[in-house]
Structures are given as structure tokens and as C-alpha cells.
Amino acid sequence: MKTVLLVLFLLPVSAVFAQSNDEKAVRAAITQLFDGMRKADTTLFKAVFAPTASLQSIAKNKEGVVSVRNESIPNFVASVDKQKPGALDERLSAYEVKIDAELAIAWTPYVFYFNGQKSHCGVNVFTLVKLNDGWKIQAIIDTRRREGCPDL
């Protein structure tokens, strides 16, 4: 009986540790994305994307009209490839990760620096899927603003 209770007690603990490992892997994929961006290393950068990944940005124009802009991942990779190492520096201030089975989301406030100068800030929302070769970014949608950006 004691063995059964011990197994039942440890079962939820093992599930927490498994989720913790998945969370570490999700964070590692996002970190690899930004490390690749900072280094202008497109091999490192594009390896974190799922084959059908998408990128969107939410922005307001000068008149205050909100729009959602779509960008292809190949164009995003090409824009990183054109930069010098260190030119692109997106700094995250926090992570909030939620995982269910093979699906994860991450909410990451950020400040973006271009050539050492603060450019803009906002929030990234990543959707990741756990594929056979690990956690991959399926979608990114972000907000972008130039005002009220903290120093990171």
C-alpha cells in the first residue's frame, strides 16, 4: 500500500518535471532565434522555425489606424542575413510560457535595438509546436511602438 501511495504521489511530480523540461526547450528555441539574429547567423536563426511558420506585426499608423502586417519567414531570414553581427538586438524583459502537450505559447515583452540605438518595443507572442526534432516556432505576432519603451 505504501508503494502505491508513493507512486501516486511521485506521478504528478514527474509530470511537473517533464513540463519544466519542455519549458526550458521552448525558451531555448526563442533564445536561439534572438542569438541568431544578434549574430546575423541565418543558419542558427532559421533552424527554429517550423516549415509553415508565419510572422505578423500589429501597428498603428500616424492616423492611429491599427493594421496587421504579414511577413514571410524567408523575407525575415533574408533581412537578418543583410545585417552585420550585433546590429540587431532584441532584448526580452520577461517570459510567460504555457504548454499543453505539443503546443506552447510564450508572451515576451521586448525592447529592440538597432546598431546600439533603441528603436522600438512591444510584446512578442510565440506559438510553438513540438515536432519530431523538438520545439519549433510556428507563429510570431508582435506589437511595435516607439514611445514608452524601457531601457533594457
What would the pLDDT profile of 117-131 be if each residue is shown by its tens digit? 999 999 999 999 999
* 39: pLDDT strictly greater than 90: yes
Q: Is residue 152 part of a domain?
A: no
Query: Residue 22's domain is classified under what CATH number?
Result: 3.10.450.50
Do 29 and 111 touch, CB atoms closer than 8 A? no
Do 45 and 37 touch, CB atoms closer than 8 A? yes
pTM: predicted TM-score of the whole model, two decimal places: 0.83
* 73: pLDDT strictly greater than 50: yes
Q: Is residue 106 part of a domain?
A: yes
- Which range marks the domain in which residue 125 is found? 2-143
Q: Is residue 148 part of a domain?
A: no
Q: What mean pLDDT, rounded, does the chain reach?
A: 90
Measured between alpha carbons, how far is 143 from 58 in angstroms, rounded to an integer? 5
Strand 66-71 with 134-143, pairing: unpaired
* 146: pLDDT strictly greater than 50: yes
* 7: pLDDT strictly greater than 60: no
Structural domain count of the chain: 1
Q: Is residue 151 part of a domain?
A: no
* 101: pLDDT strictly greater than 50: yes
At which residue does the C-alpha cell 531601457 appear? 151
Measured between alpha carbons, how far is 40 from 34 in angstroms, rounded to an integer? 9
Give percent above pLDDT 70 in the chain: 88
The CB density around residue 48, as the number of other CB atoms within 10 Å, is 22
Measured between alpha carbons, how far is 138 from 129 in angstroms, rounded to an integer? 6
The one-letter code for the residue type at 20 is S
What would the pLDDT profile of 89-99 be if each residue is shown by its tens digit? 999 999 999 99
The Cα-based distances of 121 to 8, 20, 71, 91, 135 in angstroms read 46, 28, 18, 9, 25
